[in-house]
Amino acid sequence: MKNLLLIDDDKEFVNWLVSFLSLENFNIETAHDGESGLQKALTGDYDLILLDCMMPRMNGLEMLKLLRQKSTMPVLMLTTKGDEIDKVLGMEMAADDYLGKPFSERELLTRIRAILRRIQHRKSAPQNKISHLDIDLFPAQQQVVCQAFTIELTATERLLLEKFLRHPGELLSKEALSEQLLGKKLQPFDRSIDMHLSNLRRKLPTRADGQTRVKNVRGRGYIWL
């Protein structure tokens, strides 16, 4: 059974989710504000965090920022439906995915399982190193080294980088990346892959030759160079 941490101040909503997810064979622990949620999250006892944006004492975005200073534990942000600002900020702070309220039980379960599959894929990845130019990725160790520096990436960022490193010079569409890495079909105006890629590029140092690492082919996808 997987352990989930649900952080949300709406107790009625929390009770509904706990009841539903328990029936789906998840162990659920809860917190009702950002401060107590952060304390629990930093124990490292969870496979995934479900984090609401709007909470007392410390909102979800503030909590995520502090969490990312010490942990790459997967986070699914729960945002107000259509609130693009929260979504963009959450992705910039390296949330693994977001889901707008209200949502269906099926949609939530799909997102949770997609993230957990990515984690399992990471753990079961081959032991060998994947290298391209100045980047070495060690899937089993969940480690990325670039120019002799260890680069801290989230699970989604590592899988995105792995996908690129296994297919350098090939055009990878946003549609395929969304389905393969996020477990969801790409929707109009969905910037999830763009934000994960932006975070990845920001964390990697500049290439020694000054060239860009990835090329955006407008309307088609990306090519890792």
Please report which confidence band the pLDDT of residue 3 belongs to, taking 50, 70 and 90 as the band edges: very high
Average pLDDT of span 70-85 = 77
Average pLDDT, the chain: 86
Rounded Cα–Cα distance for residues 116 and 108 (Å): 12
Joined together, the tokens standing for residue 112 give: 């949770």
One domain, residues 102 and 166 = no
pTM exceeds 0.75, yes or no: no
Please report the pLDDT score of residue 71 as a whole number.
85
Please report the pLDDT score of residue 124 as a whole number.
57
Q: Give the β-pairing of 143-146 and 149-151.
A: antiparallel
Among 91, 121, 151, identify where a domain stops: 121
Count: domains in the chain: 2
Please report the pLDDT score of residue 139 as a whole number.
81
One domain, residues 83 and 56 = yes
Sheet strand arrangement including 48-52:
26-31, 2-7, 48-52, 75-80, 97-101
Burial class (CB in 10 A: 0-12, 13-18, 19+), 1: exposed
Residue 98: CATH number of its domain: 3.40.50.2300
Rounded Cα–Cα distance for residues 141 and 123 (Å): 8
One domain, residues 115 and 132 = no
One domain, residues 138 and 70 = no
Average pLDDT of span 164-187 = 89
One-letter identity of residue 207: R
One domain, residues 32 and 56 = yes
One domain, residues 134 and 56 = no
Q: Which domain holds residue 66?
A: 2-121
Residue 206: CATH number of its domain: 1.10.10.10
Please report the pLDDT score of residue 14 as a whole number.
94
One domain, residues 78 and 103 = yes
One domain, residues 116 and 50 = yes
Among 121, 142, 175, identify where a domain stops: 121
One domain, residues 112 and 19 = yes
Among 90, 121, 152, identify where a domain stops: 121
Does residue 135 surpass a pLDDT of 90?
A: yes
